[in-house]
């Protein structure tokens, strides 16, 4: 009896120990599996090719839908030889060019020492060439030394001179651009506050701007170059609202070039006819949402003084093409510089020069990855047209 009880007690104790030890074993197993899982995850993480995009300050910024990573410069410059394409039907000096919806237009200008009312247009082909030039609706009068812009289906001819009067006009004409490239009828809209010639004009965010220029034909009595900058709203029907003055340029400038990029306006080079001085200065100013212009500030100057040049913006770069000095020198040089996000311009770099020197006649535009220069300084080659590929 005692032996049986003893055996039963031993059996019960063994069973009890087994029951008690099971949870501890399970805990140990779980802990071991956890450690193994953690080690496995650590190894896999070390081998993963996915990295935090903010490591080493690699941030993505966007300027007009053009991205740059870690402030790496976009690729700029001309990457092909200049190639001739369809010439203008006549020599025009100076040229007034605009592009819109796959067409290029030459409007008015000086033709054989007389102002012209003729308007030419040509298609820009997909291979970069220019198609045949044709005439479309002529201006209501002969106009030279005007400036023009195209915006939301309309083209504007601003100021200028008829070659007879000794003052520049304040008249503004506008016409609708048809889908086949032709222009509709020209009509007048709100005039500038004063006459304007050799100015620059741009359109941006439903406003049109007229910048600097001359208010009259220069004579020895006074300096006719102006610092005035005017702006006006562009209405949906193509008319222009009232013109208002905004922040003036730091000095009177005519014969300059202007571009707009990423809410900044640029005034590049030019001259002051009263002092017979050409400029290498580059001014820029922020464009406010109400259309006004903020303070003008200088940024990186051009490598050389230049007036009568032409300029474009492409892929976040500013290009300055040709031009010359008031001493009679003409340039074939082409420079480009990156446009920084704060509006400043980086260092200017030389790229492929144009085939002939230009001044006083040429104009240019960029379209679909190509740059075009129309007109040359050396008569009788005012009608020449060249194009070259830009770095994508």
Within its chain, how far is the Cα of 233 from the centroid? Answer: 21
The answer as to whether 204 is a domain residue is yes
Report helix, strand or coil for 257.
strand
Residue 262 has pLDDT above 70, yes or no: yes
The answer as to whether 26 is a domain residue is no
What is the per-residue pLDDT for 220? 47
Residue 184 burial class via C-beta count within 10 angstroms: exposed 0-12, middle 13-18, buried 19 and up: middle
Q: What is the mean pLDDT of the chain?
A: 81
Q: What is the pLDDT of residues 68-123, one digit of tens each?
A: 223 345 688 988 899 999 998 887 766 788 999 999 999 988 766 678 899 999 99
The answer as to whether 6 is a domain residue is no
Paired with 257 in beta bridges are 268
Residue tagged 């406010």 (tokens): 288
Q: How far apart are CA 354 and CA 351, in angstroms?
A: 9
Q: What is the pTM of this model?
A: 0.79
Closest CA to 245 of 286, 212, 273: 212
The answer as to whether 165 is a domain residue is yes
Paired with 284 in beta bridges are 266, 297
Residue 159 has pLDDT above 90, yes or no: yes
Which CATH number goes with the domain that contains 152?
A: 2.120.10.80
- Comparing 58-62, 340-344, 355-359, the range with the smallest average pLDDT is 58-62
The answer as to whether 300 is a domain residue is yes
Q: What is the dihedral of CA 267, 272, 276, 279, to 10 degrees?
A: -20
At residue 154 the predicted structure's pLDDT band, cuts being 50, 70 and 90, is very high
The answer as to whether 33 is a domain residue is no
Helices of type H across the chain: 2-47
The answer as to whether 37 is a domain residue is no
- CA-only gyration radius of the chain, Å: 34
Domain extent for 206 = 78-389
Are the C-beta atoms of residues 297 and 285 closer than 8 Å to each other? yes
What is the per-residue pLDDT for 275? 77
Residue 287 has pLDDT above 90, yes or no: yes
Are the C-beta atoms of residues 188 and 171 closer than 8 Å to each other? yes
What is the per-residue pLDDT for 125? 97
- Comparing 71-80, 97-106, 149-158, 364-373, the range with the smallest average pLDDT is 71-80
- Comparing 99-103, 141-145, 347-351, 386-390, the range with the smallest average pLDDT is 141-145
The answer as to whether 13 is a domain residue is no
Number of structural domains in the chain: 1
């Amino acid at each position: 009896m005692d032996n049986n009880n003893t055996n039963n007690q031993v059996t019960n104790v063994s069973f009890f120990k087994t029951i008690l030890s099971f949870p501890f074993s399970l805990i140990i197993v779980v802990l071991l599996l956890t450690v193994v899982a953690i080690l496995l995850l650590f190894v896999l993480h070390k081998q993963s090719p996915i990295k935090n995009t903010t490591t080493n300050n690699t941030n993505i910024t966007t300027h007009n839908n053009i991205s740059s990573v870690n402030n790496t410069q976009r690729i700029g410059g001309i990457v092909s030889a200049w190639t001739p394409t369809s010439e203008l039907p006549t020599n025009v000096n100076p040229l007034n060019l605009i592009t819109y919806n796959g067409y290029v237009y030459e409007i008015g200008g000086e033709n054989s020492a007389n102002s012209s009312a003729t308007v030419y247009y040509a298609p820009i082909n997909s291979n970069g060439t220019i198609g045949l030039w044709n005439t479309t609706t002529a201006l209501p009068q002969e106009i030279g030394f005007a400036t023009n812009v195209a915006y939301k289906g309309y083209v504007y001819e601003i100021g200028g001179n008829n070659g007879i009067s000794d003052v520049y006009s304040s008249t503004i004409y506008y016409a609708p651009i048809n889908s086949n490239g032709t222009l509709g009828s020209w009509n007048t809209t709100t005039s500038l506050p004063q006459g304007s010639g050799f100015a620059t004009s741009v359109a941006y965010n439903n406003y049109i701007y007229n910048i600097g220029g001359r208010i009259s034909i220069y004579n020895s009595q006074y300096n006719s170059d102006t610092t005035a900058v005017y702006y006006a709203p562009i209405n949906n029907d193509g008319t222009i609202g009232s013109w208002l003055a905004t922040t003036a340029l730091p000095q009177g400038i005519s014969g300059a070039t202007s571009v707009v990029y990423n809410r900044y306006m640029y005034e590049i080079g030019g001259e002051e006819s009263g002092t017979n001085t050409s400029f290498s200065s580059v001014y820029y100013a922020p464009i406010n949402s109400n259309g006004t212009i903020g303070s003008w500030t200088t940024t990186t100057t051009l490598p050389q003084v230049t007036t009568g040049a032409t300029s474009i913006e492409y892929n976040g770069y500013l290009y300055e093409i040709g031009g010359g000095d008031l001493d009679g020198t003409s340039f074939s040089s082409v420079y480009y510089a990156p446009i920084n996000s704060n509006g400043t311009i980086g260092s200017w770099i030389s790229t492929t020069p144009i085939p002939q020197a230009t001044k006083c006649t040429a104009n240019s535009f960029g379209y679909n990855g190509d740059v075009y220069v129309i007109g040359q300084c050396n008569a009788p080659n005012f009608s020449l047209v060249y194009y070259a590929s830009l770095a994508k």
